[in-house]
Amino acid sequence: MAKVYYNGDAKESYLQNKTVAIIGYGSQGHAHALNLRESGVNVIVGLRPGKSWEQAEKDGFAVRTVREAAREADVVMVLLPDEYQPKVYKEEIEPELKAGNALVFAHGFNIHFNQIVPPKDVDVFLVAPKGPGHLVRRTYTEGAGVPALIAIYQDVTGEAKEIALAYAKAIGATRAGVLETTFKEETETDLFGEQAVLCGGLTSLVKAGFETLVEAGYQPEVAYFECLHELKLIVDLMYEGGLAGMRYSISDTAQWGDFISGPRVINASVKEEMKKVLEDIQSGTFAKGWILENQANRPVFNAINKRENEHLIEVVGRELREMMPFVKQKQKEAVVTNAKN
């Protein structure tokens, strides 16, 4: 079994007398900044003028330009979208890094794929929560946490791992469990997970199920409840008790259908395709495509995003969720500080 770090394995003192600059105040940024502050850490936020700047100030933070924040900080956590990090890093962070500072990431993409090459005299590590930023915040306020991975790329102070663990503790991750990994393993598994299972695999599975029912003449609202809304309730049971915990709650008929039809849908050819997705990640093919897509101003991303937002499942879902204030409320919470367009 891998070593898992919990609260008792991390010492807050490694962040005492240090200023942490959170660069970006989006999904992860707002969660890290608020959790760190409530854990007693001295936090400043680095941004460009705009929506996030206003929100961070409203939340009571000292907000600076990215360059000023990097200058003032001992620990610089880069929580900008991956695709904007290299330019902002080169122009505003790198010139301000001092020997012995820590340069930190929540995902290894830019270091692993050589889009950011840090100076040799700073610690470089990652603290990568295994969950969406809004849940990093919400679980922290509930006294719980989201697990995280740490990885050390450069350790010039000899304290990089202790600082990483202290940081992970301050955002609530050691309440759930923290594993040590490498930038390579974090980057490749994170990209694979989001593409094949958590985001890409799941949205495609949900849409395929919804479309199958609607094309067979069933009501879209029934298909929505069946294939999307109920998914959360089922996944909550898996989160709490694994596959068996979920199967304990469902009917025997459902469990028999799970055993017999599940492998027909997610069959060997799906796994073959997953292996190809993983190979594209490992070889850098996916990263190159994403970097070029951004250089071209995202023509494919924007076209697909528009088409996805117009899908019948989204149209029906928006209407149904209007009638569920308890669901809508959570949604509102989630978009408050999310700067994504």
Ligand X SMILES: NC(=O)C1=CN([C@@H]2O[C@H](COP(=O)(O)OP(=O)(O)OC[C@H]3O[C@@H](n4cnc5c(N)ncnc54)[C@H](OP(=O)(O)O)[C@@H]3O)[C@@H](O)[C@H]2O)C=CC1
Ligand Y SMILES: CC[C@](O)(C(C)=O)C(=O)O
Sites of contact with ligand X (CB under 6 A): 24-29, 47-48, 50-52, 66, 79-82, 84, 88, 106-107, 128-129, 132-133, 338-340
Q: Which stretch binds Mg ion (CB under 5 A): 63-71, 185-193, 273-281, 285-293?
A: 185-193
82 is in an annotated binding site: no
Using Cβ positions, the residue closest to ligand Y within the complex turns out to be 194
Least separation in angstroms between CB 107 and ligand Y: 6
Interaction between residue 190 and ligand Y (CB under 6 A):
yes
* Residue 199 interacting partner from Mg ion, ligand X, ligand Y, none (CB closer than 5 to 8 Å by kind): ligand Y
CA nearest 137: which of 170, 104, 109, 163? 170
Interaction between residue 194 and ligand Y (CB under 6 A):
yes
* Residue 198 interacting partner from ligand X, Mg ion, ligand Y, none (CB closer than 5 to 8 Å by kind): ligand Y
Output 33 or 316, the one with its CB closest to ligand Y: 33
Q: Could you say which of 190, 281, 287, 339 contacts Mg ion (CB under 5 A)?
A: 190
252 is in an annotated binding site: no
Residues 67 and 141: their CA atoms lie apart, in Å, by 30
Could you give the C-alpha distances from 170 to 37, 78, 260, 337, in angstroms and in order? 8, 16, 45, 20
Q: How far is C-alpha 78 from the geometric centre of its chain's CA atoms? A: 13
Q: Which pairing describes strands 4-5 and 178-181: parallel, antiparallel, or unpaired?
A: antiparallel
194 is in an annotated binding site: yes
Residues 333 and 322: their CA atoms lie apart, in Å, by 15
The first and second tokens of residue 331, run together, are 């949604």
Residues 6 and 316: their CA atoms lie apart, in Å, by 43
261 is in an annotated binding site: no
CB contact at 8 A, 48 and 67? no
Residue 107 annotated as catalytic? yes
Using Cβ positions, the residue closest to ligand X within the complex turns out to be 26
* Residue 108 interacting partner from ligand X, Mg ion, ligand Y, none (CB closer than 5 to 8 Å by kind): none
Taking the C-alpha atoms of 313, 316, 317 and 318 in order, what is their torsion angle to the nearest 10 degrees? Answer: 130
123 is in an annotated binding site: no
Interaction between residue 186 and ligand Y (CB under 6 A):
no
298 is in an annotated binding site: no
| Position 165, amino acid | L
Output 81 or 100, the one with its CB closest to ligand X: 81
CB contact at 8 A, 163 and 125? yes
Interaction between residue 334 and ligand Y (CB under 6 A):
no
CB contact at 8 A, 111 and 85? no
* Residue 47 interacting partner from ligand Y, Mg ion, ligand X, none (CB closer than 5 to 8 Å by kind): ligand X
Residues 24 and 29: their CA atoms lie apart, in Å, by 5
Interaction between residue 335 and ligand Y (CB under 6 A):
no
CA nearest 277: which of 151, 269, 108, 111? 269
Residue among 32, 107, 112, 134 flagged as catalytic: 107
* Residue 50 interacting partner from ligand Y, Mg ion, ligand X, none (CB closer than 5 to 8 Å by kind): ligand X
Q: In the block, which residue shows the tokens 């969406």?
A: 132
Least separation in angstroms between CB 133 and ligand Y: 7
Can you point out the beta strands (E) in 123-275? Answer: 123-129, 148-154, 178-181
Q: Which stretch binds ligand Y (CB under 6 A): 115-123, 194-202, 212-220, 333-341?
A: 194-202
How many Cβ atoms from other residues are within 10 Å of residue 337's Cβ? 23
Residues 122 and 42: their CA atoms lie apart, in Å, by 20
Residues flagged as binding site for Mg(2+): 190, 194, 226, 230
Q: List contacts with Mg ion (CB under 5 A).
A: 190, 194
Binding-site residue set for substrate: 251
Give binding residues as ranges: 25-28, 48, 52, 133, 190, 194, 226, 230, 251
Catalytic residue numbers? 107
